[in-house]
């Protein structure tokens, strides 16, 4: 009995039925025809959609999404639950563990199906690491929802793994100058930092480059970290998180305020506290506490004009002497 999912070659008979080819039939077939038949069968098998338990599928390839939008993921789960999975994901057999698979693309669908406890409709292809990267990159190119920074981060991950720029260009279907522009952004930020901001779909290359330049300043970088630790930061959407971090880098550090001058105590000849004098850039303040003045504050208030006038005259005389 043939294994489920494996297509066996058949030969038509004169009566209109079919039978499996015998060894003699194989000897009668030209070698080229046998090879072509085997190749066709392999292609049919690769394009056949299988149902696979989600728990048998592991992650592989490179991170092409900087976080998931919870609302969009809920919408995807609702669609899968209502209409079923319409588009298969692409897997490859696990290179080290028999009976397991690795995801090539379709991570969002896999995550949603796993949460729903549904089996995963998938095509399974024999792909080496290079072919996996090319397949994942080509899938990314055809998707409209990946942002600039997600593609730039994907390119940077490929470069970090040793792929040359020609391969990166082929994987993303872009030219070499665009690879250079993407890598300037992708390599300017650590992946954990980008995960915290997210895809930022409305933010283009120029803004990301401006942020990278701003973060070169240690003080601006510290302010950005403070912004990302704010309790409300995670509640913002991805574009707003970028704007909050960028705005933090642009704030000018306020000059440290000079400590307020300590007041100087004025005492009577017998040592009793009479008043406090505080001198600041705004002027001179004389304070006579009522609770300890024993009426001196009221008397000083009634004599203030005469006393100040007399003191001013004395000050004027010292100036004329100079």
34: left (phi over 0), alpha (psi -120 to 50) or beta: alpha
Q: Is residue 84 part of a domain?
A: yes
| Inter-residue contact 146 to 116 (CB < 8 Å) | no
Q: Would 60 be classed as within a structural domain?
A: yes
66 domain residue, yes or no: yes
Query: Measured between alpha carbons, how far is residue 56 from residues 90, 125, 224, 273, 300 in Å?
Result: 14, 15, 40, 85, 91
* Residue 188, in any domain of the structure: no
284: in domain: no
Instruction: Report if residue 302 sits inside a domain.
Output: no
Q: State the 10-residue block means of pLDDT for the chain, 322 residues long.
A: 43 47 50 53 61 91 69 83 87 91 87 92 89 77 73 90 89 88 93 91 92 93 94 91 95 69 82 82 84 82 86 81 61
Largest CA distance in the chain: 138
- Would you state the pLDDT for residue 253? 60
C-alpha 120/C-alpha 111 separation (Å) is: 10
Extended beta strands in the chain, E state: 11-12, 18-19, 50-52, 57-58, 89-93, 101-105, 120-124, 264-267, 273-280, 283-287
SS3 12: strand
Range of the domain at 90: 41-144
Whether pTM > 0.75 for this model: the answer is no
Q: Which residues are within 8 A (CB) of 223 and not within 5 positions of it... i.e. 6 or more apart?
A: 248, 249, 251, 253
Alpha carbon 88 to its chain centroid, in Å, reads 27
Q: Could you give the number of structural domains in the chain?
A: 1
The Cα 302–Cα 318 span in angstroms is 26
Q: Are 140 and 151 in contact (CB under 8 A)?
A: yes
Report the CATH number at residue 92: 3.90.1530.10
Asked if residue 182 is part of any domain, the answer here is no
In 3D space, the residue among 159, 148, 228, 217 whose CA is nearest the CA of residue 187 turns out to be 159
**Residue 213 forms part of a structural domain:** no
């Amino acid at each position: 009995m043939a294994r489920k999912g494996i297509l066996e070659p058949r030969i038509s008979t004169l009566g209109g039925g079919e039978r499996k080819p015998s060894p003699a039939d194989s000897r009668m077939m030209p070698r080229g025809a046998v090879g072509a038949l085997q190749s066709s069968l392999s292609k049919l098998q690769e394009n056949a959609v299988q149902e696979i338990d989600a728990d048998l599928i592991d992650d592989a390839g490179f991170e092409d999404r900087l976080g998931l939008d919870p609302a969009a993921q809920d919408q995807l789960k609702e669609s899968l639950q209502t209409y079923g999975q319409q588009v298969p994901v692409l897997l490859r057999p696990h290179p080290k563990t028999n009976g397991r698979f690795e995801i090539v693309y379709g991570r969002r669908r896999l995550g949603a199906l796993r949460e729903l406890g549904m089996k995963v409709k998938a095509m399974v292809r024999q792909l080496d690491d290079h072919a996996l990267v090319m397949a994942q990159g080509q899938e990314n190119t055809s998707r409209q929802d990946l942002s600039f920074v997600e593609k730039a981060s994907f390119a940077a991950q490929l470069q970090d793994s040793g792929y040359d720029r020609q391969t990166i260009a082929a994987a993303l279907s872009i030219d070499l100058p665009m690879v250079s522009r993407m890598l300037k952004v992708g390599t300017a930020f650590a992946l954990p930092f980008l995960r915290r901001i997210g895809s930022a779909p409305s933010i283009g290359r120029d803004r990301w480059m401006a942020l990278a330049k701003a973060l070169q300043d240690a003080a601006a970088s510290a302010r950005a970290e403070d912004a990302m630790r704010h309790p409300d930061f995670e509640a913002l959407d991805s574009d707003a998180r970028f704007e909050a971090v960028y705005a933090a880098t642009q704030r000018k550090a306020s000059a440290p305020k000079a400590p307020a001058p300590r007041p100087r105590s004025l005492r009577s000849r017998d040592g009793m506290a009479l008043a406090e004098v505080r001198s600041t850039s705004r002027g001179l303040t004389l304070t006579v506490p009522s609770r300890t003045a024993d009426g001196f504050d009221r008397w000083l208030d009634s004599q203030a004009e005469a006393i100040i006038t007399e003191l001013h005259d004395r000050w004027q005389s010292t100036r004329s002497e100079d």
